[in-house]
Structure 1
Amino acid sequence: MPLSKAVIVPGNGVGDIQHCNWYGWAHKNINKIPGMTCLLKNMPDPVTARETVWLPFMEETLGCDEETVIIGHSSGAAAAMRYAETHKVFAIILVGAYTSDLGDKNERASGYFSRPWEWERIRGNVGHIVQFGSRDDPFLPWAEQQEVAEGLQAELHEYTDRGHFMNTHFPELIKAVHKLREAN
């Protein structure tokens, strides 16, 4: 199936998604790519980002399917990985991905970290896996970001100066979506 849609799944704690981080900027720029549609919607349960709420929303409301690239940032990356354990999607782009609840009560309550990651199942359900990570991320240890890259055999874009990717522009992301679109 060809790539025709991108869905941006934010990190937890996001209120108005259009005006947070690079989300609105990326939405606008992905929608300029011929043949692409990008969805950007406020997520239900935005603070805890519970798996039991977000995954059904991704399937039923955002329509993530075999023609979709899920762009997940932080908690959204965890959601994208768990979604891909049980659903076929064209691609996932993970921004600031990690593997544990980081000792945080809210992260633990999300449910994403309650069981081992099924790397092989994710790889089997996803055609392309791209990951962006930065060694200076103040929230995520590099070892966890590396564990995701190795487990998923991801195309890793490693930085030393991007923190948690909370800037307002993210041109490398748009290039990655273009590359996936051309890979059709």
Structure 2
Amino acid sequence: MSARRVILFHGTGATPEACWYPWISERLRARGYLVEVPHHPGINVEPIAEFLPGLLAAHAFDDETILIGHSGGAALLLAVLEHLDVVVPQAILVAGYATPPNDEDEPVLQETYDWHRIRSHVQDLWFLNSVTDMFGCDADHGRAMFDRLGGTLVIRDDDHFVDDTLPLLDRIIPDPA
């Protein structure tokens, strides 16, 4: 059995040093996780059909891998989960969306999703969305994904979840076994 790992995919135009990513990485490492926060500048820039194969090849996914995505990185997780050949224990989509949240181009989105396949590749699925999201990745988007996939939907009043800390996320992720 491999060690419990977390892979965190940042949002559009972000870096691994943005918002709460360093904070949660430090917290999870202190709890015994191996944490990866790769820099993928192509998230939501390159079309998903071109971007996804390279991303899948660049990372190892197994039954000990927890996935976290924020904003464009959360939208990316839908495609990742659909194309995995393993079941991950947990995926958390923070400020995620499956349809365009605003008038901007969204190359991270697929035209269609196999919702059953996505759900079959994750045991514990969480959506964290806000009623006051400045980019439109709001509670309605969280509800739309929840309605298709089930899991747990948490609605907050936390704008786009860009603070330096996100204590709720630390509480959602269980201690490694």
Q: TM-score range by the shorter chain?
A: 0.7 to 0.9
Aligned equivalent of 1:171: 167
Superposed, which structure 2 residues align to 1:9-158 within 5 Å?
9-14=9-14, 16-18=15-17, 20-34=18-32, 36-46=33-43, 48=45, 50-52=47-49, 54-87=51-84, 88=86, 89-102=88-101, 104-107=103-106, 110-115=107-112, 117-139=113-135, 140-158=137-155
Q: Aligned pair in 2 of structure 1 residues 3, 131: CA closer, same or farther (>3 Å)? A: farther
Aligned residues: 174
Rounded Cα–Cα distance in structure 1 between residues aligned with 2:44 and 2:143: 26
Gaps of 5+ in 2: none
Runs of 4+ with deviation above 4 angstroms? none
TM-score scaled to structure 1, two decimals? 0.84
Structure whose residues are more often helix by fraction: 1
Q: Aligned pair in 2 of structure 1 residues 3, 173: CA closer, same or farther (>3 Å)? A: farther
Rounded Cα–Cα distance in structure 2 between residues aligned with 1:83 and 1:133: 20
Rounded Cα–Cα distance in structure 1 between residues aligned with 2:145 and 2:2: 26
**Kept after mapping to 2: 8 A contact 1:71/1:95:** yes
The one-letter code of the counterpart of 2:5 is: K
Give 1:3 shift. Answer: 6.9
Rounded Cα–Cα distance in structure 1 between residues aligned with 2:151 and 2:3: 18
Rounded Cα–Cα distance in structure 2 between residues aligned with 1:3 and 1:124: 22
Q: Aligned pair in 2 of structure 1 residues 47, 144: CA closer, same or farther (>3 Å)? A: closer
**Kept after mapping to 1: 8 A contact 2:127/2:146:** yes
Give 1:50 shift. Answer: 3.7
**Kept after mapping to 2: 8 A contact 1:64/1:70:** no
Rounded Cα–Cα distance in structure 1 between residues aligned with 2:108 and 2:35: 27
Q: Aligned pair in 2 of structure 1 residues 133, 111: CA closer, same or farther (>3 Å)? A: closer
CA root-mean-square deviation: 2.2
